[in-house]
Amino acid sequence: MTSIDSFATSLTSLPASAGATVLVGIDGFSGAGKTALAEALGTYDDITVVSIEEFYPGWAGLAEGPARAVAGLVDPLRRGETPRWRSWDWENDTEGPDRERPVGTRVVVLEGCGAGAAVLREHEALTVWVDADPHERERRLRAREDWSLYAPHRAAWRETEQALAAQEGLPAAADVVVRYTEGSLDVTTSPRS
């Protein structure tokens, strides 16, 4: 087991991969623990977390999310500019407001389904796949406070996220596969060198 402290420290020591920024992708199926891991990492001063959900153009937009994240987040980071993008209003199922996200940290963690897609991996210093038992993932999803918003889309989303992962060669293409449990990581593969 690896502690979150140890993992966070290892991220800050990685080489920059998107301009002067260390970009880390955290991917996995819904309910695997991606957001919980990213939120734990986001408590560290040198780490900023951005959800790839900001880049999906709605419930049917998972496959478009990675390219939109490159345009709105990665390309500006590479140019040393402030990332800007148009977000999605999930509650009203329509385009939301423009977002601007100044990043003053060494590490940016992009988390969510699709964060490990090849178009993003080429800019990531580390790609992490978060794994969990399918029954545990479903239990976690149903316990979320936004389950009522997500539930009508669950079956289609599951198919789409599985198809995207297969197309992108995930989890095999990830540098690290982990299981996250409150404060510790069980790492099942090693980072690329």
Crossing angle of the two packed helices 34-41 and 4-12, in degrees rounded to 10: 70
38-86 pLDDT, tens digit per residue, is: 999 999 999 999 999 999 999 999 999 999 999 999 999 999 999 999 9
Confidence at 193, pLDDT banded by 50, 70, 90: very low
**Which domains occur in the chain, in start order?**
2-187 (3.40.50.300)
118-156 pLDDT, tens digit per residue, is: 999 999 999 999 999 999 999 999 999 999 989 999 999
Q: Which pLDDT score is estimated for 45?
A: 94
Q: Which DSSP state fits 52?
A: G
Judge if pTM exceeds 0.75: yes
SS3 54: helix
